[in-house]
Structure 1
Amino acid sequence: YTLYTLETHLCYRREAHEGQALHLEVTLLERDAKRLHVFFEMQDDEHNLLATSEQMLMGIDSQAGRPAPFPAEVDEAVEILPRAEPDAWPELAGRRIGLPPAKR
């Protein structure tokens, strides 16, 4: 069993440097039996936001090469992740990517 990344939105905010202490937080936004929608934040020791990554992940049965529900041990690990309420997602989550409409 493995996870495939179906989509990711990665935003770099500040530089990180070799040897610098980094702190990562994950928030579960949504899930179903086979998929996870998660949001990661990376900060430095002063709580400066260095990067965010929003990801849609799919659980895959490695032998069959097909999507499959999470095994019990994975499902249990997912259940203990910090979870955002639908109306309280992190401010930077759920953003659309694209160019603004051209002005005439």
Structure 2
Amino acid sequence: MVFGVSAEATGKKLKLFVNIVALVFWAVVIPFAVAVCVIALTYYSVYIGMLEIYEWILIGALLVPVPALCAYLVYRQHAQGNMLDTLFKRNPDLWGPRSRANRYEAERAERMIRKWF
């Protein structure tokens, strides 16, 4: 059925395009926008009363969770007596493309990871 194959290929291309756009946003656009906001907030000389405090609170609320979660994971790993380098290694059960044959194993590993968090 040619129409089904074409629709499937179009769906895969669309999914690939969306993933590429998301990757570009996470890798380039969002860090650049945050850096521009912080620089503009620091070097912009006209402030409107209490607005400066609210801007810093907003930027802090956006930026603090990432290093806070990292510090929490490092603390938890250290408290359990595990080595810290295991935090920063890729898990081969969860990374990379999966074939249908080992998809069950990958889903089982994903469920185990979800239990930890």
Same fold by TM (over 0.5)?
Answer: no
TM-score in terms of structure 2 length: 0.23
Max Rg structure: 2
**More helix by proportion, 1 or 2?**
2
TM-score in terms of structure 1 length: 0.25
**More strand by proportion, 1 or 2?**
1
**Higher RCO structure (Cα 8 Å, ≥6 apart):** 1
